[in-house]
Structure 1
């Protein structure tokens, strides 16, 4: 590797590395934000939304539910059949979420989602059952203010969405109106739940010691069970101290004031060019939607200094959102067999060995920083609740597509909490596609009826 490029690589390594003391400082500030601001009557940057879900699964739940999972990149419709004995059968179809819908109108978005449900019913259910009353568990991975388990007003869009006519409105009412336009007036939304809460409930179903659910995917967020006595903004008198309620943190908004997060000039650019500048600061450094964009911006910067890709035209470096977290994982993972082939297919140019090595190292730096920052949020919840042990249910494309990052999260948790990794009181339980199953389980435990098995 040339001296100039080697120097640049060392500088980048220093730029993206977060040491133990900085991890502890971030976690300390995070814990204060969770405790003093989010749950208070006044609120704070981190919404800390009460979900009104106070029941947890016993494993003997039975029933059949439609589920709709709307995340940041796809729509997933499932039929989840709970059979008791901690067992569930799931049939699923995944649908594209066209990029244009992310900046469309509410009616266009909900109509598309309702059409996905209609298509699923037509192809997956017997004809004689399609007109029966059906309960649907709606996983909606955006911050809402809930007034009941099946009601929620959208606070703001995240994950790059900017759909008009939805913020400030009950998303269940709008979606049920779209279902009726599709001729599905027999489908009723039984529960509205975030993917983090769904993942937590799904993990609880098989791992009763689960007390945190986390998503490291298109977005970054967590949910946990909080004592209602510690939620000053919860005004409903039926929720007494000692009762545990699921809290959807929506902590992608952590440190919007930029007090402790170690932002680089690339993070600043990502924020400035996003649909909502100044919001979701933590998410923009940790989530799959943005990690590939950080990688692109660094390569673009190195190319502008003539440190890499000399004499080569690389048009894709000038196009935003062209590298996703799955591609980043392939570039950075130790055991991926041919990084040169992956990179040359991506960049559309031949690469020399030092360019391949630089791209590999950079992908690892960005992913490792994200993993270490993600550990801060989990450690903050653990400390805020005063837990002595905990299982964390985790889903999301960032960790699922790069298993090495799980070790990075555990290593950072050990550094923050002062444990060797093999003695950590937290265990990570990977729950693939748990948000859909968890939504159905949550609908069952709330007593919202059950469909026919």
Structure 2
């Protein structure tokens, strides 16, 4: 009898344990389903807020066009600066001779020499030297930086073979790509408005950067003339026009973004000088600062902007450029981790670090075609120290990348469409075989294939089938460097 009671008791205890275990399993499954449902809900909400249907893209393009008109009408009339570049004479392809370029736009600068052989030979024998700028020169004095650049330029030229030396009495001519905000005062002069990209040389602000360079060139005894001061976007436009006379605009889509285009001089009310003989003027839009109520901003974009070094500025750039796309994706993943315990019970510490997820890494995950998304798994492990992710989780990560990239690419296409609309190139061309070409440069466009495909598709969608045949995008080749040398040629004092 006692034994029977023991057996019965044991059975009851076992049954209770089984029930408890089963209950725990059920609760775990329910909790897991709840987490997964929350993760999917956050993704869906993000996707809806980032939607860019054709109607919204047309609204963005129209707003871009309106701001372009306002910026051309008066200084400060628009968020778009619409800077007059004083480039009124773009390369024709006929230019000949040896010309130089100095490309300063970040922590490295490049010295370039090209030989232009006219329409028959084009660009031959380009020589390029890239030099890192020591950090102390980025925050020191103006003369220290420009002396360093001039000394490098002198060494580059002194190593030239004798046959490249100009004839007596003729100066070497240089195109100076200076990719910082400058208020241009002529084709070969401009005052620095402010430094960006880690530079902070206070005594250079408000000074003519060409004059500063000339002082340093004189110190090293280099007889060289700056024929053209440009930024990288205008260099891209010039390089594109050298090869193709149908190029009407240029766009940079890299770490940052900008656009420039050819405008009728008579359509620039704020231009008070003599009308150029060409009747045209290249406009540097500084379109990264564009903003509109039609832009599909989310809380992630707002938090990124608030945490940035320039809150309230460069809103368009923060939506479409390589500097920011990866961090938008990180912020979305962080929220999923916090609210849905997506990567475990604790939020991975690395996921909280701004800009730890770079756009090239986002691109690699987005382009992962392996059946098990191995690239995604490796990136999460190596960059964010997140291991043991399931295939379902990796698919969510790819989904976030796709939403961010697609929105950015389609908005960039809307901006390009706005430019074409402003200059009347958004419709079917009346003149047979006439084309409007946009030269596009930058690592984001060149290497992020999904981004490029989305951009090109959206632009065709905006233009319509017939107009798309006469409006095309062409990838540019090193416009910021070689294009500057070409502008030195087209503005040569000897031509």
Q: TM-score range by the shorter chain?
A: 0.7 to 0.9
TM superposition shift of 1:398? 0.8
Q: Distance in 1 between matches of 2:143 and 2:307?
A: 26
Q: Deviations over 1:14-59 (max 9, x none)?
A: 2322221111111111100001233435532211111111112221
Q: Distance in 2 between matches of 1:14 and 1:118?
A: 56
Partner of 2:57: 23
SS at match of 2:396: helix
Partner of 2:11: none
TM superposition shift of 1:162? 5.2
Relative to structure 1, the CA distance from residue 289 to residue 54 in structure 2 (aligned partners, 3 Å threshold; closer, same or farther) is same
Contact 1:159–1:289 (8 Å) recurs in 2 = no
Partner of 1:349: 386
Partner of 1:58: 92
Partner of 1:221: 258
Contact 1:41–1:232 (8 Å) recurs in 2 = no
Q: Is residue 442 of structure 1 aligned with residue 487 of structure 2?
A: yes
Contact 1:326–1:397 (8 Å) recurs in 2 = no
SS at match of 1:165: helix
Relative to structure 1, the CA distance from residue 320 to residue 95 in structure 2 (aligned partners, 3 Å threshold; closer, same or farther) is farther
Partner of 1:201: 238
SS at match of 1:289: coil
Q: CA RMSD in A?
A: 3.0
Please say which of residues 391-400 and 263-272 is displaced more in the overlay.
263-272
Relative to structure 1, the CA distance from residue 247 to residue 81 in structure 2 (aligned partners, 3 Å threshold; closer, same or farther) is same
Partner of 1:316: 350
Q: Is residue 430 of structure 1 aligned with residue 475 of structure 2?
A: yes
Q: Distance in 1 between matches of 2:134 and 2:424?
A: 43
Q: Is residue 87 of structure 1 aligned with residue 88 of structure 2?
A: no
Q: Distance in 2 between matches of 1:184 and 1:351?
A: 63
TM superposition shift of 1:161? 5.6
Please say which of residues 98-107 and 193-202 is displaced more in the overlay.
98-107
SS at match of 1:305: helix
TM superposition shift of 1:400? 0.7
TM superposition shift of 1:420? 3.3
Matched residue count: 444
Relative to structure 1, the CA distance from residue 421 to residue 307 in structure 2 (aligned partners, 3 Å threshold; closer, same or farther) is farther
SS at match of 2:205: coil
Relative to structure 1, the CA distance from residue 205 to residue 448 in structure 2 (aligned partners, 3 Å threshold; closer, same or farther) is same
Q: Distance in 1 between matches of 2:135 and 2:37?
A: 42
Q: Is residue 231 of structure 1 aligned with residue 268 of structure 2?
A: yes
Q: Deviations over 1:88-124 (max 9, x none)?
A: 13222334456776666545554554455456456x6
Q: Distance in 1 between matches of 2:43 and 2:482?
A: 43
Contact 1:149–1:192 (8 Å) recurs in 2 = yes
Q: Is residue 399 of structure 1 aligned with residue 436 of structure 2?
A: no
TM-score (norm 1): 0.87
Q: Distance in 2 between matches of 1:8 and 1:284?
A: 21
Q: Distance in 1 between matches of 2:388 and 2:216?
A: 50
SS at match of 2:315: coil
TM-score (norm 2): 0.81
Partner of 1:45: 79
Partner of 2:297: 263
Contact 2:74–2:270 (8 Å) recurs in 1 = yes
**Structure having the larger proportion of residues in helix:** 2
Gaps of 5+ in 2: 1-32, 430-434
SS at match of 1:338: helix
SS at match of 2:293: coil
Q: Deviations over 1:392-442 (max 9, x none)?
A: 11100111111232221122223333x139944321100131221111111
Relative to structure 1, the CA distance from residue 127 to residue 371 in structure 2 (aligned partners, 3 Å threshold; closer, same or farther) is same
Gaps of 5+ in 1: none
Give the structure with higher Rg (CA).
2
Contact 2:173–2:492 (8 Å) recurs in 1 = no
